[in-house]
Amino acid sequence: MRRILLALALLLPLAAVAADNDIDKVNGSVQVDAGQHAGDVSSVNGSVHVGDHAVVQKASTVNGSVDLGAQARAGELGTVNGAIRLAAGSQVDGKVEAVNGAITLAQGAQVSGHLSNVNGAITLDAAHVAGGLETVAGDITVGAGSHVEGGILVDQPHNNGWFRWGSERKPVIVIGPHAVVQGTLEFRREVVLKVSDSAQIGPVKGATAEKFSGAAP
């Protein structure tokens, strides 16, 4: 997994000369007002807030969260050490990546690319991800009515000798009522997999699904 490369990639726009419609800041948060259009929006040691109905090319930060407002649109979202939240009806045309942070998609949110993190819960609430889900140590909840294409991958922790990605705790994967996961659900480490009896999923590799009925296991 390209976690260290992700961190470096997030830093690169901050060192570049900003274009006319780019916004970047060090040691402070960035606000894109409702309905505003911007290019790359980035921060170091601060959060990025994209207002309702706003449009940005990319929103990224190091040591901060990224919030995409209702009906807002972005090309990509990324953070190192922070959460990512997509409000109702928001849309990301490319990938969504976090290293240490939760990722939450509200009702009607859509991600056309890959959605991944290392640590932190991934939660979909009647949302759509077209490029698959990936984590190492985070729980995943594909909530009621959600749709995932490209399957799910829970990778094993990686150890390069001095730094270890992920934890020893078993991630909990829940596929909720009437949710659909197309593609393989692949687990390269031990997980707890709970699948609603009304959900539809693809082949499961590396785990045994526990069926449940009702709204939650």
Nearest to 146 by CA among 186, 189, 98, 104: 104
Neighbours of 14 (CB within 10 A): 17
Angstrom distance (rounded) from CA 8 to CA 12: 6
CA–CA separation, 117 vs 202, rounded Å?
22
State which amino acid sits at residue 91. Q
* Cα–Cα separations (whole angstroms), residue 200 to 63, 84, 121: 37, 27, 21
Q: What is the pLDDT of residue 1?
A: 52
| This prediction's pTM | 0.89
137: left (phi over 0), alpha (psi -120 to 50) or beta: alpha
> Contact at 8 Å (CB) between 133 and 122?
yes
Q: Is the pLDDT of residue 145 over 70?
A: yes
Q: pLDDT (tens digit, 9 = 90+) per residue, 125-141?
A: 999 999 999 999 999 99
User: What is the distance between the alpha carbons of residues 19 and 69, in angstroms, rounded to a whole number?
Assistant: 23
In this prediction, residue 20 has a pLDDT band, given cuts at 50, 70 and 90, of: low
Taking CA 92 as the corner, what is the angle to CA 86 and CA 95, rounded to the nearest 5 degrees? 105
- Distance CA(102)–CA(121), nearest Å, equals 5
Domain boundaries, the chain: 1-120, 132-161+169-217
CA distance 131 to 113: 4
**Mean pLDDT for the chain overall:** 90
66-102 tens-digit pLDDT:
999 999 999 999 999 999 999 999 999 999 999 999 9
